[in-house]
Structure 1
Amino acid sequence: MQKIFSQELRFKDENGNDYPNWEEKKIEDIASQVYGGGTPNTKIKEFWNGDIPWIQSSDVKVNDLILRQCNKFISKNSIELSSAKLIPANSIAIVTRVGVGKLCLVEFDYATSQDFLSLSSLKYDKLYSLYSLLYTMKKISANLQGTSIKGITKKELLDSIIKIPHNLEEQQKIGDLFYKIDKYISFNKCKIEILKSLKQGLLQKIFI
């Protein structure tokens, strides 16, 4: 990942030529909209158990960058009457407090707790944006370790620099590469779990 985003390794176009140089952008410049989050009053039952996914930091897994599900849901009333915001599908949610640096692409409409900032209406390839942000957030998180800082402010995050290939085709190639690698890793993890379960079953049958 480091060699790709440091541009030590580069893709070529279909004619074998180099793509144009990359641009430096602030994170705030890669999305048309930025959303915060909020927690509806837990004492008001009408705010909860609706049909809007409400994402917490614990829903975001370090090794799963495409969010498939979450544990809690809120109602439309909570969007209208609380600090929670309805965020459009295909946005990137970034944890800025507890678990700072975790992030995910959310392919459905959703809301989040106040521990997030979400980048919406992305201006660049969504998978490239996702993996480039992952690389950037890892560097930010490493700099925060060993300090008393519990998170990153909205301004600090949005002012952080991200590198963007000028050519959309190169963005797509990079995003697709990392996505395919992650799918391969996930597939093999599933195979390992199946083999572990098979082994446990055989051990029980043999030694009982």
Structure 2
Amino acid sequence: MKDNQAKYPQLRFKGFTDPWEQRKLGKMGYTFTGLSGKTKEDFGHGNAKFVTYMNVFSSPVSNSEMVENVEVDSKQHQVEYGDVFFTTSSETPQEVGMSSVWLETAENIYLNSFCFGYHPMVEFDPYYLAFMLRSPVIRKKFMLLAQGISRYNISKNKVMEMLVPVPEIVEQQKIGSFFKQLDDTITLHQRKLAKLKELKQGYLQKLFPKNGSKFPQLRFAGFADAWEQRKLGAITDSFSGGTPTAGKAEYYGGEIPFIRSGEISSDSTELFITDAGLNNSSAKMVGIGDILYALYGATSGETSISRINGAINQAILAIRPTKGDDPYMIVQWLKKQKETIISTYLQGGQGNLSGSIVKDLLITLPKNKDEQAKVGSFFKQLDQTITLHQRKLEKLQELKKGYLKRCFADS
């Protein structure tokens, strides 16, 4: 494909109709290397800083605070405003060549040794450059350049041969500003979500008694009695499910949602089974409001209130209170105790939990069911708020993905 070949993006701002050029990166700037000739004794102190690998990997625009100390060295290349950093290797081809633009003017800032830098010699809007290099059309090109088996690498010479879309600077500024505002909105929602989760963790510590105590630090007005400790199995009934025989077409594709351990918090499932699949297996039906507890694999110890009427497999334990205890409060206690349960019963975080282990757990709850309902309702509302913010964040992230696909011309 010839350099400067004209292309048009799918989506444009009003007033822009000119074709976009496709130009080689190497014709518009030069590369430089990261830190070299250093030993571990040179790091962790000194009046200079270097941009870390994870800083480059994690964001289209580098974080000026994700830097670490190193000794000042006049032989090293200092990064400048508008420089682009590229990671040179990764464990997967999908993550190789991740880029980040530096937008600071401080002195004595270097680049880590596992990345290389690129200094543009033509006018680029830095935010356009940042998001264009992270767009699907460019990321696909980096994946094609990835070489390796267990670890993937890219050649900076090959990267410099890459064609990228270059509109006029005014259109670049429009696009860059749009994605910057979108990213700022996403960051704001991420911070709100993180604060809500932190707030919840604080309430979990204060609204439940600490180990050995019968009184929580924080209580709703009107409640003063000591809480009591009981075995979870003494106040609930529980059962696990099973999986219909794989490969039997008559067991799958029906109308019964089939809940797996990674879906206990979801309102939908990937798989559905038939009545025949349910009746000819150990799968068991659960209803909206049942407590679901993950026993196996990476999700061990996760718990949630079911949002689905469906069937569960053997990796899930369904729990139903039998003495009028509040299910939301039981769920929150299980969430609070997750790390303790995992560290107690799973060696090194490996292996599986069992129904008998969960039934023998000693749970501390108020005797007063009204207090249970107050605490359970409080956490239910807090969880709903967290879920709402999580969904808003996911929608914004999906929106950004869609715009990244449509706002940059393919080559």
Structure-1-length-normalised TM-score: 0.80
Structure 1 spans left out of the alignment, 5+ residues: none
Report if aligned partners of 1:136, 1:162 keep a CA contact under 8 Å in 2: no
Looking at both structures, which has the greater relative contact order when contacts are Cα pairs under 8 Å and sequence separation is at least 6? 1
User: Which residue does 1:46 correspond to in 2?
Assistant: 250
Report if aligned partners of 1:19, 1:167 keep a CA contact under 8 Å in 2: no
Report if aligned partners of 1:59, 1:70 keep a CA contact under 8 Å in 2: yes
Identify if the C-alpha distance between structure 1 residues 184 and 87 changes in structure 2 by more than 3 Å, giving closer, same or farther.
closer
- Out of 185, 195, 218, the position equivalent to 1:9 is 218
- Out of 67, 92, 100, the position equivalent to 2:291 is 92
User: Is the aligned partner of 1:175 residue 2:376?
Assistant: yes
Instruction: Please show how residues 45-194 of structure 1 align to structure 2 within 5 Å.
Output: 45-60=249-264, 65=265, 67-98=266-297, 99-122=299-322, 123-144=324-345, 147=348, 149-193=350-394
> Distance in 2 between the 1:184 and 1:134 partners?
17
- Aligned-pair distance for 1:108? 3.8
> Distance in 2 between the 1:141 and 1:114 partners?
19
Q: What is the root-mean-square deviation of aligned Cα atoms in Å?
A: 2.8
Identify if the C-alpha distance between structure 1 residues 74 and 200 changes in structure 2 by more than 3 Å, giving closer, same or farther.
closer
Structure index of larger Rg: 2
Code of the residue aligned with 1:114 in structure 2: it is Q
Paired residue total = 197
Report if aligned partners of 2:300, 2:353 keep a CA contact under 8 Å in 1: yes
CA displacement, residues 130-164 of structure 1 (integer Å, 9 cap, x when unaligned): 21222233321243565274121221111011111
Q: For residue 11 of structure 1, give the secondary structure of its aligned residue in structure 2.
A: coil
> Distance in 2 between the 1:198 and 1:163 partners?
45
Report if aligned partners of 1:37, 1:111 keep a CA contact under 8 Å in 2: yes
Give % identity. 26
Structure 2 spans left out of the alignment, 5+ residues: 1-203, 210-215
